[in-house]
Chains A and B, each alone.
Chain A
Amino acid sequence: MINPVEFAAGWLHETLVVPLLYAADAMQWEELGYGWTLFAAYGLAQVIATYAICVPLERWRPVERWPDRGAVTTDVLYTLISRVGILPLVTFVGFYQAQVALNGFLTDHGWVPPTLERLVPALLGQQALTFFLYAVILDFADYWRHRFSHKLRWWWALHSLHHAQRQMTFWSDDRNHLLDDLISALWFGVVALLIGVPPLQFPLLVLVLRLLESLSHANARVSFGWLGERLLISPRFHRAHHGVLAAGQRSCNYGAILPWWDMAFGTADFSRAYVETGDPTGPEVLASGGYLAQQWAGLRRFAAAALGREPGRNEAWQRRRA
C-alpha cells in the first residue's frame, strides 16, 4: 500500500530537491536531503492532520471567541517555520551528524553507544513497543526541560514568548523564540543520543509527540475525564499551565504528553478549568507583535536577564487588568 506522505516526499525529492542539489554542486548531501524532505513532508502532513482535528474541536466548544484573530495568524507562521522548516533542518543536519560523529567516536574508543534495543534485545523488531518506550523517556526529559525553562531567569526570558499569547489555540504550540527552539532541540538531541534514539525514527517520534502537544493547546473545552486526564494531557490540563496565574518562574502542569511526571513531582494541578491565558509580566509586543518584533523583543529580554537586569514588563496590560 502506498504511503501518501512518503510518495509525496519521494516525488518532491526527485523533482525539486535533487535537481537543486545537482545545480548547487551539493550532490554529496543527496542522501541526507532525502531525510530532510521526508521529515518536511511529515511535518506538513502533521500540520494538516492537526488542523483537521483541532479546528472542528475549537469551533464545537471554544473556550473563548475573539473578534480579531491577528495574534493567531502569527502563530500559524510559527508553526510552518517550526514544522516544515527549522525543525527538519536542525534534526537532519545537526542531530544526525552529531549522532553519527559521537557514536563513531565512542565506537573507536572501544565503547558501544547505548541503545534501548541493546539493553533489551527482545525489543528488536518490536517497533510499536520500542517507539512507546522512547516516547515515555523523551517526555520525561521534556518535563524537566520545561521546568528549567521556567525556573532559570534567562531561559524564562525566552520561554515567556510562548506564554504571552492571550489567544491560545492549537497553533500556539510552536510559538517559541528561535533560541528557545534551538536549546530545546539540543536538549532533546542530547537525551536522544544518550538513549540511542534512531536518527531516522527520531523525527517521526517528535512529530507524533507534537501532534498531541498541539491538541493540548487547543482553544476547546475538552477534558479527558478524571482517569483520562491522569493518563494523557488534555487541553483543559495544559490550559492551566498557560493561565495568567501560572505564568512565570513558579508554574504548574509542565508535562507535554503525560501528566505522570507532574503527579510524581508535585506540580500537577487538576483543579483549574479553562482559565484566562497570557503573561501579564511580559511586554505587550510578545503578545500582539509580529513575528520579527517578537523575536527581537525575546532576544533583548534574554540578554537583559543574562546580564542580571530586569526584563521589560507588560505595563499596558497590567493597567487594563487593574
Chain B
Amino acid sequence: MGSERNTSIMAAGRPAPARRGCASVSGGFVRAPRALPWPVPGAWHRVRLAVRARPAGDGPGLAALVCLAAWLAFGAGPAAAAGFAVVVNSADASLSLIDLAHQTEIGRIPALREPHHLALTPDGSALLVGDTAGNEMLFLDPATGAVKRRMTIADPYQFGFSPDGKFLVVNGLARNQVDIYAVGSWQLVKRLKLSSMPSHLAFAPDSATVYVTLQGTDRLAAIDLRQMTERWEVEIGKTPAGVLWNRGKLLVGIMGSDYVAVADPADGKVERRIRTGKGAHNLFLSPDGKLVYVGNRVDGTIMALDAATLAPGRSYAVPGGPDCAAFAPDGKMWVTQRWARKVAVLDTVTGAYSSIDVGRSPHGIWLSERAQ
C-alpha cells in the first residue's frame, strides 16, 4: 500500500503537518515540482517561445530579442502563434495542447488517471487541472503548459474560484462532497457532505454563496461561503448539470430533460423553464455578455439564448456530445465533443464548425488567449 502521507486533505480544522522530504510543505505536494517530458515538435516550440516572448508592458528587452529569434528561426512572427489551448482528455489520462492559430494538436501532457476540469488561479499564476481517479491536482504553467506541481486531493471533479479569489471550491462527484480550500495555502477549510453527485458550480458575484448541482438527487444546493454551511437544497429538475449566474438569476441545465431552469438565487425556486433541447447540459456566457449558449447533450446541439430576455435564438448542430466551451480571440467557440475525440471550433456567425482531433473523451478546455 502507499505510504505517502497526504497533508492537504486532512480533516477540516486540523492543521496539516509538514510532509517529510517534501519540497514545499504549504501545498502538501506529493513530490517536488517538476516539468514533465512531452514531445516538443517544432511548432510547439515556436508557440512556447512566442508566448514567453510576449512583451509585458515594461518595454523591449530580452523578450523582444527572443521574439526576433523565434521569427528568424521559424519564419513566422508571434502573431502567427496566437496561443494555445489545453484540452483535458478524461478517458486518456492526458492533456492535449493545441496551437490556436493552426488548430492542430502539438503536444500531450500525461496525467495520472482521469482528469476532467481545469481553472486558472485568481492571480493567473497557475492553471489547475483536477484528476479525479488520480486524486491529484496538477498545477500547470499557463504560459507554457508545463506541469509545475502536483497536489494530492480527493476526487477533484468540477471546481472553481470564488470571485474574491479567497476560496477554491471542489466538487467530489464520486464522493458526494464539496471541499472548500483556502487559495494560496491550499488547506482544506471545510468539507460538506451533500446528497449525491455534486457536479457543476457557480458563484454569486459577491462571493457569499456557491451553487452546486446534485446530479444524483435532482437538486440544487446553496453553500454559504461566509458561514461555511449549506444554506438550502431544493429540487430543480432531472439530473441537473451546468449552472450559471446570469443577471441576478441562476440558470441550470436540466440534462435529464430538455430545458434550462431559471431559479431564484435566494431560495432556488424555479421561476421559468426555457426549452433548449434534449439533455440540456452546460451553459456559457458569450464574451460580450449578450448571449447564453446552452449545450444539449442528447440532441447534439448548442442553442443561443438572449442573455437579457432568455428568448431562444439560433441552434447549432454540434454532434458527439458537446460539453465544455471557451471563446477564442476571433470569437469562435471551442467546444469539446466527448464521444468523438474532437474539439469543435464553431463559427457562431455562419454556424459552420471544424473539428480538431484530441484524446479520448475530451472534457474541460482552456485557451491561453480568449475573446474579451
Contacts and interface: CB of A to CB of B under 8 A. Distances in A.
Contacts of A114: 1-2
Given A6-B360, A22-B279, A124-B112, A104 B216 contact: no
Interface in B63-104: 91-93
Interface stretch (B52-60, B160-168, B267-275, B336-344): B336-344
A103 B91 contact: no
Given A22-B279, A124-B110, A199-B133, A27 B338 contact: no
Contacts of B152: 107, 112
A200 B114 CA distance: 8
Please give me the 4 A-B residue pairs with the lowest Cβ-Cβ distance, nearest first. Answer: A114-B2, A125-B110, A10-B339, A112-B4
A315 to B, nearest CB: 50
A112 B135 contact: yes
B36 A19 contact: no
A190 to B, nearest CB: 12
B87 to A, nearest CB: 16
Contact of B320 (A3, A10, A121): A10
Given A28-B197, A198-B133, A111 B174 contact: no
Interface string A3-23: 100100110011000110010
Interface string B350-372: 00000000001100000000000
A161 B256 CA distance: 44
Contacts of B300: 14
Contacts of B49: none
For chain A, what secondary structure do more than half of its interface residues adopt (helix, strand, loop), or is it mixed?
Answer: helix
Interface in A240-262: none
B229 to A, nearest CB: 20
Interface string B2-36: 11111101100000000000000000001100001
B225 interface: no
B175 interface: yes
A201 B4 contact: no
Interface stretch (A30-38, A83-91, A162-170, A209-217): A30-38
B142 interface: no
A22 B239 CA distance: 10
Contacts of B3: 111
Nearest to B10: A110
Given A34-B91, A35-B91, A112-B152, A13 B298 contact: no
Given A107-B154, A111-B2, A194-B1, A199 B297 contact: no
Given A104-B172, A112-B2, A199-B114, 17 more contacts: A22-B256, A25-B239, A27-B297, A100-B133, A100-B155, A103-B155, A104-B174, A107-B135, A107-B155, A110-B9, A112-B30, A114-B1, A115-B2, A117-B112, A118-B2, A124-B36, A125-B37
Contact of B36 (A30, A110, A113, A125): A125
